[in-house]
Structure 1
Amino acid sequence: MQKKMIKKIRKRDTKGLDYVINNYSKKVYYLVDKIIGFYGREEVEECVSDVFYELWENIDQFDEKRGEFSSFIYMKTKYKALDYKRRLEKKEVHKTELEDDITNKITTEHIVLDKESSEEIIEIINNFKEPDKTYFYNRYFMYYKVDDIAVMYKTTRASVENRLYRCRLKIKEMLEGRK
């Protein structure tokens, strides 16, 4: 039955794909859920769909001499789910960085906008010691990413973040002290 089903898929007969979905979807779903279930049901279902679509599109990659069809499906599933996981992790990291960045900018910009003159801010920044002044300038005026600043100055991301945090605190303290 399995050989007939593979032939049907190769001939683009959807009955072959229906057979595969009916017989393998539970295990495919289970494997995908184990790998990316943390990201939500919607992501899992999308990945499962992509597994079967890829199977449909790349059925010619299956070689009976190299192994069982079930192994072929499960390997496709594993690699597709891992691709999804990498993409979702990258998306999460970017989202978190963006949220942190927006929060920091809003707080800093709020202080800047609340004050009568930005000259006070520039004076405070100009009094920062190096490399704080350079880091702050690159981050908030040139809009460099923290990772890029760390690479440029051969330091760690944590070091840059800590220095920027202390700079923002100094600005806030000095501006609040002048009220």
Structure 2
Amino acid sequence: DHELRHQWERSGFTTGRREWELLVPTGPHEATVPADVKILGVGRAERDPLRVLDRAIRDEVAAGPGWHTMPAEVVARLDEATVVDPSKYAVAAQSDRYVGLIRLAQIPRQPRIGLVAVRAGQHRRGIARALLAHVLDSLHRVGIPAASAEVDEANRAAMALFDGFAATRAGSNLELVHR
């Protein structure tokens, strides 16, 4: 609601961030996986390499864009502990290591994509697109018509990724900050 937002702005608040709630249709999607990368489906990742990838991605986020750019449920961990449940992840594997992941919460009515991440050195190779296509195709095969996701509108790469799969905006969360 633009008028309500303008009232808050007149009261000294500014937009801190906006997170879009997206609905992503499932279905057969074309995505070329790089020749040196293999996608392992949800639940097929090994725990230890997945923890190594999770820790590396967390370090890259902390050193780069920062945790304020992540969806609300992706929290920075203050300790070195990395808790991952392989049953919720599909991964992109390259030789002896994982280079990308996607987390899927299997909520009965509407599965939720909680995170798509690729190691910084592997960006712009189509790995995130291949992971998302794989998960959406898997959901389609079991009769699920759509999945949900949340994306920070300032993350142009993530917005473009989901727009490429015909995601529609179902709602948003607006964080206001007092000046």
TM-score (norm: length of structure 1)? 0.22
**Structure ranking higher on relative contact order (CA contacts 8 Å, 6+ apart):** 2
Q: Which has the higher strand share?
A: 2
